[in-house]
């Protein structure tokens, strides 16, 4: 496939982001059950805007360019949430981040109404692990006018890690993206609005994940910015036999490798350490 998006500027609402060098996206889960930091924005069972704002502000000060807000856990085995639950979790956080911090906010959602309402509340990007496959999502994303990250996932979170199978994982993911990009084009979504995420850990074994990282430039050859998220994931635990709270070194190594192989956005929990790694890489690369 020929290159389709040569711009180094990603227009996120009123914000223009320079993606000629890797940017850091900080993870802010407005959920009680996400795999790594679920509940960090909660007091008991109640979402705390103060805690969410404090966490987001800290990540921005540490060097995050984008804050990614999610109201549905997509960890392996996660149960789905209702549309109303997701709205109740996400919208107050988005509105607060935009009004109080003027943050570039990405919303991690697959739900059409959440996309529409988040855009009305000032969100600057849509990050969809289901690549706009849910009913109404493609139309909602189109109407939003925002950049859209299309992620590859085999299956659904509840079952995706049961027994993932591919003929060739890199070729299969490339084919999936070609189909979803074509669907976006049919709706009139400009190439400059599309970002691709291989979906590390989403319906993939360790072997699949390593193959995708090794051949990340092949995905880059599709001609769109790449977003990668490997922070604290089980692939690090499998490689290094490390528990969740001991995966920072592995996360940083993967972030560095992804940046070297062409990733434009690195989605992480540990912003300050990742920013340091990318600064060193930039200094050495000149």
CATH of residue 224's domain is 3.20.20.20
Query: 9 lies in a domain?
Result: no
Segment 96-118 shows an average pLDDT of 97
Residue 80 lies in a domain: yes
In a domain, 151, yes or no: yes
pLDDT for res 41 = 72
Asked whether residue 47 is domain-assigned, the answer is yes
Q: Answer yes or no: is pLDDT of 11 > 50.
A: yes
Q: Which of 75, 89, 130, 267 is catalytic?
A: 267
267 annotated active-site? yes
The answer to the question of residue 220 being in a domain is yes
The lowest-confidence range among 32-36, 162-166, 186-190, 250-254 is: 32-36
If one compares 262 and 34, the residue with the highest pLDDT of the two is 262
- Within 8 A by CB and 6+ apart from 65, the residues are 17, 23, 24, 25, 104
Residue 89 lies in a domain: yes
Q: What pLDDT score was predicted for residue 126?
A: 98
Choose the catalytic residue: 130, 180, 233, 247: 233
Residue 2 has pLDDT above 50, yes or no: no
Backbone torsion region of residue 46, taken as left when φ is above 0, otherwise alpha when ψ lies between -120 and 50, otherwise beta: beta
How many angstroms separate the CA atoms of 247 and 251, rounded?
6
| Position 86 in a domain | yes
Report the mean per-residue pLDDT for the chain. 92
Asked if residue 221 is part of any domain, the answer here is: yes
What's the predicted TM-score (pTM) here?
A: 0.93
Structure tokens at 200: 């590390």
Q: How far apart (Å, rounded) are the C-alpha atoms in residues 130 and 151?
A: 6
Structural domain for 174, as ranges: 19-285
- Structural domain count, the chain: 1
120 labelled catalytic: no
């Amino acid at each position: 496939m020929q290159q389709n998006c040569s711009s180094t500027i990603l227009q996120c609402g009123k914000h223009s982001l320079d993606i000629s060098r890797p940017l850091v996206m900080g993870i802010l889960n407005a959920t009680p059950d996400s795999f790594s930091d679920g509940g960090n924005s909660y007091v008991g069972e109640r979402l705390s805007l103060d805690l969410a704002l404090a966490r987001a502000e800290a990540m921005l000060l540490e060097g995050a360019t984008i804050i990614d807000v999610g109201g549905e856990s997509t960890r392996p085995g996660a149960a789905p949430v209702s549309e109303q639950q997701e709205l109740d979790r996400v919208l107050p956080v988005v509105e607060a981040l935009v009004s109080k911090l003027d943050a570039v906010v990405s919303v991690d959602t697959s739900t059409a109404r959440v996309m529409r309402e988040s855009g009305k509340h000032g969100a600057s990007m849509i990050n969809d692990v289901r690549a706009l496959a849910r009913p109404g999502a493609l139309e909602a994303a189109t109407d939003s006018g925002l950049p859209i990250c299309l992620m590859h996932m085999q299956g659904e979170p509840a079952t995706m890690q049961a027994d993932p199978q591919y003929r060739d994982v890199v070729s299969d993911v490339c084919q999936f993206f070609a189909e979803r990009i074509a669907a976006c084009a049919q709706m009139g979504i400009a190439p400059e609005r599309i970002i691709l995420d291989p979906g590390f850990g989403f319906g993939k074994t360790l072997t699949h994940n390593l193959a995708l990282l090794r051949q990340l430039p092949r995905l880059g050859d599709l001609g769109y910015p790449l977003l990668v998220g490997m922070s604290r994931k089980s692939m690090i635990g499998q490689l290094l036999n490390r528990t969740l709270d001991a995966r920072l070194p592995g996360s940083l190594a993967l972030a560095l490798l992804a940046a070297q192989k062409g990733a434009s956005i690195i989605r992480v929990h540990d912003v300050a350490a990742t920013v340091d790694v990318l600064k060193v890489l930039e200094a050495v690369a000149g």
